[in-house]
C-alpha cells in the first residue's frame, strides 16, 4: 500500500502513515526488526493518549529545550526508529540548540550505523557522530557500551529517544542529564530520566524545537528557572494518569 492510499478521513490516518515510515526504515536498512516491535508498543500507549501531546508532556518538552540551551555539550542520540521517523526534525532540533547528532544503536552493525548517518546527512545534517566508537559507557557489555569519546562520552546533556532501559540507567550513572522521549511512563528509560517526555517522538521532537526557538533569547536565569520548576515525578504521574484514566 502506498502512503497516498490512506484517506485523510481515516481515523488512524497519522498512525498508519507513521507505521509506513517505520516499514520504509526497515526496507532502507536503517530500522531493525526489533524496532518494529518497539514501535507497536509505542502505538498502543499513544492510542490511549488520543495521539495528542498532553499539557504535562508539553511542559517536559519546554524543560528539555531549556536543558539543551543551557548545556555545554548537548548531544542528540539517534537510533533506527528515530532516524526513520524524524530525521529532518532531529537536524532542525540540533540546529536550534547547537547540539550534535550521534548514532547510537542497541543492535549495532557498522552497516546500519553508516546508513543512518547517510540518511541524516540527506536530511541536512553536517557532522554525524557515532562511527568512531572510541568511548565506553561503564557497566555495559562491549557492544552496548560503545559511544564516541568526543560525542556522548563528553556530553553533559543527552536526548535519548526510545532508549533501552539498561543504557538509559548507565548514562544517568555517568552523571549525564538525560532527556528521554518514551511513550511508556513505566519503562525504566522514562523512570531514570531527568526529563521524561511521554509523547510520540513524531510530536515531541518538533515540540522541543519550537520551545528552543521561543527561548532562544531567554537569559540563563530564566532557563534555569524552567529547569528547576520541572518535576519529573509529577510528569510521570500525569502521564500514567492520562493513559489509565483519560477519556477517549
Going along 94-240, which residue ranges are E strands? 100-103, 128-129, 135-136, 146-147, 157-161, 177-181, 195-197
Q: Is 56 in the site for Mg ion (CB under 5 A)?
A: no
Q: Kindly indicate which of the ranges 143-151, 184-192, 195-203, 224-232 contains the residues binding Mg ion, using the contact rule CB under 5 A.
A: 184-192
Which one, 107 or 150, has the nearer CB to ligand ATP? Answer: 107
Which one, 59 or 223, has the nearer CB to ligand ATP? Answer: 59
Distance CA(215)–CA(134), nearest Å, equals 34
Q: Is 201 in the site for ligand ATP (CB under 6 A)?
A: yes
Q: Is 38 in the site for ligand ATP (CB under 6 A)?
A: yes
Q: Kindly indicate which of the ranges 4-12, 70-78, 127-135, 164-172 contains the residues binding Mg ion, using the contact rule CB under 5 A.
A: 164-172
Is the distance from CB of 129 to CB of 148 less than 8 angstroms?
yes
| Least distance in angstroms from the C-beta of 33 to ligand ATP | 12
Reduce the DSSP state of residue 134 to 3 states and report it: coil
The interface mask with Mg ion, positions 186-205, x = CB under 5 A, is: -x-x----------------
Amino acid at each position: 500500500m502506498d502512503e497516498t492510499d490512506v484517506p485523510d478521513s481515516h481515523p488512524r490516518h497519522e498512525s498508519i502513515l507513521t507505521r509506513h515510515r517505520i516499514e520504509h526504515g526497515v526496507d532502507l536498512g536503517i530500522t531493525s526488526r526489533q524496532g518494529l516491535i518497539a514501535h507497536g508498543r509505542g502505538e498502543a500507549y499513544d492510542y490511549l493518549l488520543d495521539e495528542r501531546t498532553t499539557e504535562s508532556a508539553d511542559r517536559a518538552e519546554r524543560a528539555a529545550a531549556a536543558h539543551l540551551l543551557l548545556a555545554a555539550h548537548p548531544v542528540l542520540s539517534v537510533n533506527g526508529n528515530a532516524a526513520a521517523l524524524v530525521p529532518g526534525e532531529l537536524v532542525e532540533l540540533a540546529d536550534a540548540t547547537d547540539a550534535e547528532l550521534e548514532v547510537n544503536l542497541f543492535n549495532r552493525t557498522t552497516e546500519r550505523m553508516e546508513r543512518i548517518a547517510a540518511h541524516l546527512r540527506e536530511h541536512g545534517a553536517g557532522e554525524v557522530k557515532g562511527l568512531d566508537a572510541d568511548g565506553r559507557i561503564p557497566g555495559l557489555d562491549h557492544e552496548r557500551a560503545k559511544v564516541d569519546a568526543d560525542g556522548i562520552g563528553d556530553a553533559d546533556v543527552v536526548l535519548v529517544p526510545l532508549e533501552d532501559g539498561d543504557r538509559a540507567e548507565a548514562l544517568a550513572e555517568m552523571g549525564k542529564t538525560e532527556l528521554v522521549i518514551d511513550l511508556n511512563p513505566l519503562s525504566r528509560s522514562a523512570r531514570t530520566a531527568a526529563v521524561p517526555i511521554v509523547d510520540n517522538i513524531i510530536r515531541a521532537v518538533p515540540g522541543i524545537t519550537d520551545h528552543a526557538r521561543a527561548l532562544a533569547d531567554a537569559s540563563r536565569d530564566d532557563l534555569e528557572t524552567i529547569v528547576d520548576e520541572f518535576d519529573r515525578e509529577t510528569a510521570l504521574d500525569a502521564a500514567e494518569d492520562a493513559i489509565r484514566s483519560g477519556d477517549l
